[in-house]
Amino acid sequence: MMIGRTLAHFRILEKLGSGGMGDVYLAEDTRLGRRVAVKVLPAGFESDPERIRRFAREAQAASALNHPNVATIYEICEADGIHCIAMEYVNGQTLGAKIGEVPLRVAEVLDIASQIADALDAAHAHGITHRDIKPGNIMVTPRGQIKVLDFGLAKTGPWIWRLCRSRRSCRRPWRRRSTFERGRTDRSLSRSRTTSALDTFCCSSITVSI
Ligand SMILES: Nc1ncnc2c1ncn2[C@@H]1O[C@H](COP(=O)(O)OP(=O)(O)O)[C@@H](O)[C@H]1O
Ligand SMILES: [Mg+2]
């Protein structure tokens, strides 16, 4: 039971969500007196070197970016054998939850899509491909600000631009910014090396609710 525990200087308050790579908790940073989100490597993986490496890579990829639409990583730590990533707490809901609530207006859809594209553009400029863009990995604040989360499957390295230089579309900035393709998912494209150099996100789940 994590609630009430203190990991390093983070007092775990409540569970925010979970996914394939870990559980995420709201916590209090007792040193700085602020709320943070703490992602914890699930029990059973704490002695799996590959999962620990992947967890560290996730934090490194996201922390290489300083962008208003990417959740900021504060630190990575290990306490009592538990590996965790402390990051900016995003007060809001996932895009998945938002889509399920009320139909979105076209202007809202475009605003959300352009913020996601801007975050991905910044990531690509750093040689980082997110590779898991989906509504559950995107938070929306009450003021409509997007925060991209979960770089757990991200690939890093200069190879992205080596591939792009040979592709005409990638040399055009207006094409490079729009790395989403309506109706196609990242997973469906990730089979070939060339297409996995691009992040894609499926707008159909949003547009269906218009
Ligand atoms: N920084 C955060 N602030 C608020 N909620 C978060 C934050 N990070 C993750 N969450 C919540 O936890 C869920 C799982 O987080 P995620 O990083 O996607 O984990 P996984 O890698 O296991 O999929 C998200 O869908 C979201 O609801
Ligand atoms: Mg996730």
In the block, residue with structure tokens 């990995």: 137
Domain ranges of the chain: 6-88, 93-209
Atom number, ligand 1, closest to the C-alpha of residue 24 = 12
Region of residue 10 (phi > 0: left; psi between -120 and 50: alpha; otherwise: beta): beta
Report the pocket of ligand 1 as residue ranges, CB < 6 Å.
Answer: 16-22, 24, 37, 39, 71, 87-90, 94, 136-137, 139, 149-150, 152
Question: Pairing state of beta strands 138-140 and 146-148?
Answer: antiparallel
Is the pTM for the entire model greater than 0.85? Answer: no
- Tokens in use for 204? 């159909």
- Tokens in use for 200? 């894609």
pLDDT of residue 194 exceeding 60? no
Whether 6-88 shares its CATH topology with 93-209 is answered no
pLDDT of residue 202: 57
pLDDT tens-digit readout, 49-92 = 999 999 999 999 999 999 999 999 999 999 999 999 999 999 99
Helix (H) or strand (E) holding 11: strand 10-18
Beta bridge partners, 40, equal 23, 84
Architecture of the CATH domain 93-209:
Orthogonal Bundle (1.10)
User: What 3-state DSSP class applies to 177?
Assistant: helix
Q: Does domain 6-88 have CATH number 1.10.10.10?
A: no
Beta bridge partners, 143, equal none
pLDDT tens-digit readout, 124-162 = 999 999 999 999 999 999 999 999 999 999 998 765 555
**The residue count for the chain:** 210
Mutate to test the pocket of ligand 1, among 18, 24, 39, 134 (most ligand atoms within 8 A of CB): 24
pLDDT of residue 166 exceeding 70? no
- Tokens in use for 158? 């200069």
Average pLDDT, the chain: 82
Helix (H) or strand (E) holding 106: helix 106-125
pLDDT of residue 192 exceeding 80? no
- Tokens in use for 30? 């007792």
pLDDT of residue 46 exceeding 80? yes
| Distance (Å, whole) CA 204 – CA 52 | 34
> Nearest-CA neighbor of 88 among 65, 109, 115, 57?
65
pLDDT of residue 33 exceeding 60? yes
> Nearest-CA neighbor of 37 among 55, 18, 57, 16?
16
